[in-house]
Amino acid sequence: EDQVTQSPEALRLQEGESSSLNCSYTVSGLRGLFWYRQDPGKGPEFLFTLYSAGEEKEKERLKATLTKKESFLHITAPKPEDSATYLCAVLGSSNTGKLIFGQGTTLQVKP
């Protein structure tokens, strides 16, 4: 059964303190791993798609990496506006379009 586990559940950082969020997955044939950001009361906002081990993508202070078992979202010198819940989801080969989500990591960046 496809499964996604995110850690930690919650993370508090000081502004400028870099860190990483983890997404461990089990899936039969990975077709894609997706990172989303969700602000309170809003829908998930797309950040990155990774398709194969070794792939990396960057956007401003965020960098996503992928191995055969996990993905990391690295946050470099975060700012308070980076505070949000970060969601990881996978799409497996056995599903046409069904995303399997992790529970998310809630990040708080203090000034």
**Is there a contact between 13 and 78 (Cβ–Cβ < 8 Å)?**
yes
Among 21, 84, 91, 107, binds another protein (CB under 8 A): 91
Complex with another protein: residue 59 or 79, whichever CB lies closer: 59
- Which of 10-18, 20-28, 54-62, 88-96 is the region at the interface with another protein (rule: CB under 8 A)? 88-96
As given in the structure block, the two tokens for residue 49 are 């798609």
Q: At residue 32, what are phi and psi to the nearest 5 degrees?
A: 180, 145
Residue written as token pair 């950040």: 47
Binding mask 15-54 for another protein (x = CB under 8 A): ----------------xx-x-x----xxxxxx--x-----
Reference 63, options 52, 48, 51; nearest CA is 48
Number of residues in contact with another protein under rule CB under 8 A: 25
**Side-chain half-sphere of 72: how many Cα atoms within 13 Å?**
11
Which residues of this protein are in contact with another protein, per CB under 8 A? 4, 31-32, 34, 36, 41-46, 49, 87, 89, 91, 95-104
